[in-house]
Structure 1
Amino acid sequence: MDRLLSVFKITVPEKIFLKDPESSSLGKKIVSHGIDLIDEIGFEAFTFKKLGAKIGSNESSIYRYFESKHKFLLYLSSWYWAWIEYQLVFETHNVSDKKEKLTKAIHILTRSIKEDSKYSHINEVTLSNIIINENSKSFMTKEVDQENKEGYFEVYKRLVHRLRDIISDYNPEYKYSSSLASTVLDGALHQHFLRAHFTSMTDCDKTTTPSEFFIDLTINTLNP
């Protein structure tokens, strides 16, 4: 598996960017420092002008990679979900027991993130904070239907479909596998947010994780 990890390349839908940031040191710098800046000041306050000042480059150089900060957020979210999808596939591919596979899949999709040293220009822990706080802003726009048609959310949707298929394999009679899968994925972000900011609104805390909650919820839903 380590050999496969070393050759695996995360891919993001090409329409999201003008120039692949993975293709140059400047592009990687834009992504790396962009993640840090969004985490520091929030997406609303984030601008390419501020990012340019942070990396010591002209604002125009960033526009050669992304046409807007919205597209930049789409890139970050797509990269994150592709990275999560990769973990899901490789950590469950040899699991034959259906309940074990479902439980493991939910754990992978809802657990707290640890940094992956294989991607030195991306801090996955910081990126996870951005996804928890800002992910909905990537699709709650007037342009969402057109962007969906153009494939901007294909990685995110594919990840939901993978979990849906694992749920259906566990209980083929359950009628709402897509709804349950998307609820787990989006709900995990919400529970992580509540655990950090609105502790009275969740049972998740330092000892009880969102993973435990969603595993319990899913298994009990599928086995009433």
Structure 2
Amino acid sequence: MALDLITLRDPRAAAAEAYRTLRTNIQFSSIERKLHTILVTSSVPDEDKSSALANLAVTFAQAEQRVIVLDCDLRRPSLHSLFGVSNERGLSQAMNQNSALPIVKTEIDGLQILPAGETPPSPADLLSSKRLDSVLRDLKQQADIVLIDAPPVLAASDAALLATKVDGVVLVTKAGKTRRDSAREAVALLQRVNAHIVGVILTNAKLERERYARY
């Protein structure tokens, strides 16, 4: 099944090049330490954060990096659909049952996914647990970069919780959708937990003003 991602479908497109630029910026944004775990979130729902993460993951894999994408949007998981894999088992079951992580290979060389799995009764409690710290340590041993999908910042506390566990955060905004005050509030909430915001992605921008990554 062909994956419907711009970085695969049309790698010469301006959007695909912008994702590659963002990848490079992330790789070299920290002189003191490598950014090993990156959280991708948005301010509100429907800002295309998951597809942005998927495209960014592809560019890392194309650069011969070992990539694992982790779906921590336990409320509305979608990464499994974007990569054409099952969500029958995933992070939630592995954490609740203390079992092996069901990491799945994708069609893309070097890119694996740990789906969300079934929605737990309290996603925030699961994501704030020490078990997730152990999961992240395991994933970092298996990958050069771990990209983590989180719920929107203003929709649930999950993103702020996760932001305290990662090396950097990328905030996704959508042209014609994201309100300026919502973006500012999301940034303020992330800063309140001392999140390291390393970039902003603007999706749905017109080509003449396409600027997906800004630092």
Q: TM-score, normalised by structure 2?
A: 0.29
Higher relative contact order (CA 8 A, sep 6+): 2
Q: TM-score, normalised by structure 1?
A: 0.28
> Which structure is larger by alpha-carbon Rg, 1 or 2?
1
